[in-house]
Chain A
Amino acid sequence: MKKIIFYLAFCLMGTSFVAVAGDTTATLRGNAITDDAYPERMPTIENDDVKRARNYPMQPPTIPHKIDNYQVNINVNKCLSCHSRRQTEESQAPMVSVTHYMDRDGNFLADVSPRRYFCNQCHVPQTTAKPLIKNTFEDVSASLRKDKEKHRRETASVRKNKTILVGDEPTQPLLQPGFPDHGRIHRRYHFLGWI
């Protein structure tokens, strides 16, 4: 019994520490934990049918229209009533990617594979809501551009140094000749395989 009380007390202490340490969440909540927050206005769904860029090549494209009350269950898949292979001629909607017609061994099926059936597992509509925290994500092209920029700066400074240090070559070259630094980029983006 004593042991249990001791453990309970220990757990309680633990939670109070977490509460103190978790103060930063208050900035997201926008009010004291004891107060009821006034709810934000519900953001609206973007419904303009304009395709958005993908942040990386394998990103499931986001849905550029409303999907309110779209039924996707054992009986019917409302999304496929426009996006399936059969329906695209009439709907002029983009066909779901061919990978969705493949089973896990890469065999092609007559219809969408059951493992790809629930569209919303990967594809979601977007709202007009402003992000609560600034997102510092940059896509692979921006990252590569930055690398290129950095390399140019570095080689420029090496050349500059060289003119000063004539006849005093460093025993090891500062940078391997040739651009871009494929080795480094490959290490960073090796998950993209095909680059």
Chain B
Amino acid sequence: MGGFIAGIIFWGGFNTVLEATNTETFCISCHEMNNNVYQELKTTIHYSNRSGVRATCPDCHVPHKWTDKIARKMQASKEVWGKIFGTINTREKFLNKRLHLAQNEWQRLKANNSLECRNCHDLEFMDYTRQSKRAQAAHSTRLESGEKTCIDCHKGIAHELPDTAGVEGF
């Protein structure tokens, strides 16, 4: 009986802490996130737009499915290490690392077929008639056939791009 209650308390506590780390407030409590990437997000359509629906950091950067989420959180232990030892604690260090950091995210999204984009932007419900001609042409062909995924064309949609010399698509 005692073990059962302890289990509930442990699990509840674990989940609460996990959820707490899954908020934007938590992300931007570190100056590395607040001063660099968060400021850039603020100028984009994923932060401010006509309908007021916005994406927060974990919406795009943390998988929603529990198993994937735990896997990502385990990877994030490396980021805690980076925080403690100040890997990107100045603007210069951040800019020097930027291509590497961006490539990590591009690879992740490429590998999971832009899952975090598709949590909100579902191809199934896209109305091509309400898109511009260029968007229509690209979405109805290469996206629909699966030849391309969101991140292939929409790199830099929410943050500034690093030096893209040699990156495919630029």
Contact = CB atoms under 8 A, between A and B. Distances in A.
Contacts of A65: 132, 134
Nearest to A77: B170
Contacts of A48: 132-133
Contact of B156 (A68, A71, A80): A71
B162 interface: yes
B161 A71 contact: yes
Contact of B169 (A49, A74, A81): A81
B133 A49 contact: yes
Interface in A56-94: 65-66, 68-69, 71, 74-78, 80-81, 87, 92
Interface residues of A, number: 17
Contact of B132 (A49, A68, A87): A49
Given A69-B45, A80-B170, A81-B170, A47 B163 contact: no
Interface in B111-170: 132-134, 137, 156, 160-164, 169-170
Contact of B44 (A69, A74, A77): A69
Interface size band for B:
10 to 19
B96 interface: no
Contacts of B133: 48-49
Interface of A: 47-49, 65-66, 68-69, 71, 74-78, 80-81, 87, 92
B161 A75 contact: yes
B43 A75 contact: no
Contact of A75 (B45, B132, B134, B163): B163
B132 A71 contact: no
Contacts of B160: 71, 75
Q: Which 9 A-B pairs have the closest CB atoms?
A: A76-B164, A76-B161, A75-B163, A49-B133, A81-B170, A47-B132, A71-B161, A75-B161, A75-B162
